[in-house]
Amino acid sequence: MYVKLLMRDFHPDDDVAFPKGYVPEVTPDEYDPGIPNQLLDYILRSESAEVVDTDLFAVMKKRRSTRKFSDKHVETMKIDKIIAAADTAPTAGNFQGFEIFYIKSPEKKKLLIDACNNQPYVDAPVVLVFCKNPSRVKFSFPPYVLRKFAIQDATLAAGYSQLASQALGLSSIWIGMFDEQKIMDILETDLVPSSVLCIGYPKQSKFPKSRRNLKDLVHVVW
């Protein structure tokens, strides 16, 4: 089973307030139509059972890819925050041209391993597939431009989720090598995937790898 997610539009009396198979751990007691992004803000402000690293630059410094995850269960509250973080990412025109597929089925995860060039760590405790949805981008531009906006939207969202995972004491690996059509068939969608984010508790914490010097990174244009 997978669930397709976006949190910005929330109404507790709506049959589609939550996708089948996923309900956040905490939700507002009452819905106020005058409060934008009510569910999103509620989840982001809710207290986690564990200490969250709120130093953004420390989170960036500590983050590194993990290919071996422990079997420890990832708490629902943390998953809520990871998904909510994606929904705060900037998007072209605020049209939010992406969607998230949260893979809960062990069978689907096994199929994703094959679709992702047989990378075994795709079978992680939490697997999120970020897909482009250019149909949400309501600009009067050629289709190829809308597709470009959508891939930028989906990529930024995945990056936000990855940093949120690190802040919550988890680790992750970004999968970019995959067969698009195989993943689309597994998800039973016509949305094209942009990345697969695998998340969990690492078996062993490691130090970040070295990075290039600024002189090899930055080009100053006068």
Q: Lowest-pLDDT range, 22-36, 117-131, 132-146, 202-216? A: 22-36
pLDDT tens-digit map of 152-180: 999 999 999 999 999 999 999 999 999 99
User: DSSP for 143-179?
Assistant: HHHHHHHHHHHHHHHHHHHHHHHHHTT-EEEEE----
The closest alpha carbon to 98, from 113, 83, 112, 108, belongs to: 83
Q: Lowest-pLDDT range, 57-71, 108-122, 150-164, 183-197? A: 57-71
**Given pLDDT bands bounded at 50, 70 and 90, which one contains residue 207?**
confident
User: What pTM was computed for the model?
Assistant: 0.86
**Given pLDDT bands bounded at 50, 70 and 90, which one contains residue 49?**
low
2 pLDDT more than 50: no
For residue 177, give every residue at least 6 positions away whose Cβ sits within 8 Å of its Cβ, in sequence order, or none: 116, 117, 119
pLDDT at 82: 94
Q: What is the DSSP letter of 105?
A: -
Please compute, for residue 196, the number of CA atoms within 13 A of its CA located in the half-sphere on the CB side.
Answer: 26
pLDDT tens-digit map of 86-137: 999 999 999 999 999 999 999 999 999 999 999 999 999 999 999 999 999 9
| Domains in the chain, CATH or no CATH each | 2-217 (3.40.109.10)
**Given pLDDT bands bounded at 50, 70 and 90, which one contains residue 21?**
confident
pLDDT at 17: 59
Q: Lowest-pLDDT range, 71-75, 101-105, 212-216? A: 212-216
20 pLDDT more than 90: no
Burial class, 169, CB count within 10 angstroms (exposed 0-12 / middle 13-18 / buried 19+): middle
pLDDT at 45: 79
pLDDT at 48: 65
Percent of the chain with pLDDT over 90: 64
pLDDT at 51: 63
Q: Which amino acid is at 142?
A: P
Question: Span 186-208, mean pLDDT?
Answer: 92
